[in-house]
Amino acid sequence: MLALALATTQVWAANPEAVAEAARGTALAREGKYDLAIQHYQAALKLDAHLPGLYLNLGLAYFKSQRLQEAAGAFEEAVRADSGNFQARALLGMSYYGCARYGAAAAQLKLASDAQPANTELRYTLAQSYLWSGQNAEAEAQFRILLLKDPESAPVHILLGEVLDASNRVEAATAEFEAAVKASRVPPDAHFGLGYLYWKQQRFAEASHEFEAELAGDPQHAQALTYLGDAEMHLEKEKSAEAHLRSALKLNANLRLANLDLGIVLADRSASAEAARCFQAAIRIDPSQSDAHYRLGRLWSSMGREKEAQEEFEKVKQLAAAQPPPPLIKLPGRPAK
Amino acid sequence: MNLSYKRIACALVLAIAAAWAIASAQNVAAAIHFSYRPIGFRLDSCETPRRHAPETMAGGLAIFDSNNDGYPDIFFTNGADIESLKKTSPKYSNRLFQNDGKGHFTDVTEKTGLAGTGFDNAVAVGDYDNDGWEDLFVGGVHGNHLYHNDHGVFTDVTAKAGLAAAPDPEYGPLWSVGAAWVDVNNDGLLDLLVVNYLAWNLESDPACEAAPGKLDYCHPKFYKPTPNQLFLNNGDGTFRDVSAESGIRAHPGKGMGVGLADYDLDGRMDFFITNDKMYNSFFHNKGGVRFEEIAFNAGVALAEDGKFISGMGVDFRDVDNDGLPDIVFAALDNETFPFFRNLGKGGFVDATRSSGMARQTMAMAGYSPTIADFDNDGLKDVFVTRGHVQALGEAKVLIDQPNTVFRNVGGAKFVALTEESGLSAQPAARHRGSAVGDLDGDGRLDVVTSALSAPAEVWLNDSPGHAHWLELKLEGTASNRDGIGARIKVTAGALTQYEQVSFVAGYGSASARPAHFGLGAAATAVVEIRWPSGTVQELRNVAVDRVVHVKEPGVK
- Three-class SS of chain A: CHHHHCCCCCCCCCCHHHHHHHHHHHHHHHCCCHHHHHHHHHHHHHHCCCCCCHHHHHHHHHHHCCCHHHHHHHHHHHHHHCCCCHHHHHHHHHHHHHCCCHHHHHHHHHHHHHHCCCCHHHHHHHHHHHHHCCCHHHHHHHHHHHHHHCCCCHHHHHHHHHHHHHCCCHHHHHHHHHHHCCCCCCCCCHHHHHHHHHHHCCCHHHHHHHHHHHHHHCCCCHHHHHHHHHHHHHCCCHHHHHHHHHHHHHHCCCCHHHHHHHHHHHHHCCCHHHHHHHHHHHHHHCCCCHHHHHHHHHHHHHCCCHHHHHHHHHHHHHHHHCCCCCCCEEECCCCCC
Q: Which of B223, B251, B296, B304 to mutate to test the interface with A (most CBs of A within 10 A)?
A: B296
pTM for the full predicted model: 0.79
Instruction: Please give, rounded to a whole number of angstroms, the shortest distance from the CA of B92 to a CA of chain A.
Output: 20
Contact A124, A151 (CB under 8 A): no
What whole-number distance in Å separates Cα of residue B432 and Cα of residue B370? 12
Instruction: Assess: ipTM above 0.85.
Output: no
- CB of A269 within 8 Å of a chain B CB? The answer is no
What whole-number distance in Å separates Cα of residue A144 and Cα of residue A136? 12
Share the mean pLDDT of chain A: 89
Judging by beta carbons within 10 Å of its beta carbon (0-12, 13-18, 19+), is residue B319 exposed, middle or buried? Answer: buried
- Start-to-end CA distance of chain B, whole Å, equals 85
Q: Which of A152-161, A185-194, B24-33, B378-387 has the lowest mean pLDDT?
A: B24-33
Residues from chain B that touch A329, judged by Cβ atoms under 8 A, are: 208-209
Compute the average pLDDT of residues A86-115: 94
Given an 8 Å threshold on Cβ–Cβ distance, is A325 in contact with B206? no
Q: E strands within B189-305?
A: 191-196, 207-211, 214-216, 229-233, 239-241, 255-261, 270-275, 281-287, 290-293
DSSP B507: T
Look at residue B21 and tell me whether its pLDDT is greater than 60.
Answer: no
Share the mean pLDDT of chain B: 92
What whole-number distance in Å separates Cα of residue A114 and Cα of residue A119? 9
Compute the average pLDDT of residues A57-86: 93
Q: Would you state the torsion angle of the CA atoms of residues B199, B200, B205, B207, taken in this order, to the nearest 10 degrees?
A: 80
Look at residue A271 and tell me whether its pLDDT is greater than 80.
Answer: yes
Contact A204, A235 (CB under 8 A): yes
Compute the average pLDDT of residues B463-485: 96
Look at residue A309 and tell me whether its pLDDT is greater than 50.
Answer: yes
Look at residue A168 and tell me whether its pLDDT is greater than 90.
Answer: no
In this structure, the strands spanning B468-475 and B546-551 are: parallel
- The residue among A143, A238, A157, A254 whose CA lies nearest residue A197 is A157
Residues from chain A that touch B353, judged by Cβ atoms under 8 A, are: 233-234, 236
Q: Which of A202, A252, A269, A311 to mutate to test the interface with B (most CBs of B within 10 A)?
A: A202
List, for residues B153-178, the tens digit of each pLDDT value: 999 999 999 999 789 999 999 999 99
Given an 8 Å threshold on Cβ–Cβ distance, is A320 in contact with B216? no
Look at residue B394 and tell me whether its pLDDT is greater than 70.
Answer: no
The pLDDT of residue B103 is 82
- Start-to-end CA distance of chain A, whole Å, equals 62
User: Chain A, 290-329: which have a CB under 8 Å from a chain B CB?
Assistant: 290-295, 297-298, 301-302, 306, 309-310, 313, 316-317, 319-320, 323, 325-329
Contacts of B111 (CB under 8 A, 6+ apart): B153
> Which among A162, A302, A320 is the nearest to B4, CB-wise?
A162
Cα separations in angstroms, B157 against A122, B85, B88, B140, B239: 79, 20, 22, 16, 11
Given an 8 Å threshold on Cβ–Cβ distance, is A257 in contact with B279? no
Look at residue B18 and tell me whether its pLDDT is greater than 80.
Answer: no
The pLDDT of residue A325 is 55
Contacts of A158 (CB under 8 A, 6+ apart): A176, A177, A180, A187, A189, A190, A193, B3, B5
Look at residue B392 and tell me whether its pLDDT is greater than 50.
Answer: yes
The pLDDT of residue B227 is 97
Look at residue B20 and tell me whether its pLDDT is greater than 90.
Answer: no
Contact B143, B118 (CB under 8 A): yes
What whole-number distance in Å separates Cα of residue B57 and Cα of residue B388? 11
Compute the average pLDDT of residues A214-220: 96
**Long-range contact set of residues B427-430: C-beta below 8 Å, sequence gap at least 24:** B427/B400, B427/B454, B428/B387, B428/B398, B428/B400, B428/B401, B428/B402, B429/B387, B429/B400, B429/B401, B429/B454, B430/B56, B430/B387, B430/B388, B430/B391, B430/B399, B430/B400, B430/B401, B430/B454
Compute the average pLDDT of residues B535-555: 95
List, for residues B70-125, the tens digit of each pLDDT value: 999 999 999 999 999 999 999 999 999 999 998 899 999 999 999 999 999 999 99
The pLDDT of residue A201 is 82
In this structure, the strands spanning B454-461 and B495-500 are: unpaired
DSSP B14: P
Given an 8 Å threshold on Cβ–Cβ distance, is B219 in contact with A328? yes
Instruction: Please give, rounded to a whole number of angstroms, the shortest distance from the CA of A333 to a CA of chain B.
Output: 5
Look at residue A333 and tell me whether its pLDDT is greater than 80.
Answer: no
What whole-number distance in Å separates Cα of residue B445 and Cα of residue B442? 8
User: Chain A, 124-153: which have a CB under 8 Å from a chain B CB?
Assistant: 128, 131-132
Q: Higher model confidence: residue B15 or residue B467?
A: B467
List, for residues B515-542, the tens digit of each pLDDT value: 999 999 999 999 999 999 999 999 999 9
Q: Could you give phi then psi for residue B11, rounded to 5 degrees? A: -70, 135
What whole-number distance in Å separates Cα of residue B535 and Cα of residue B186? 12
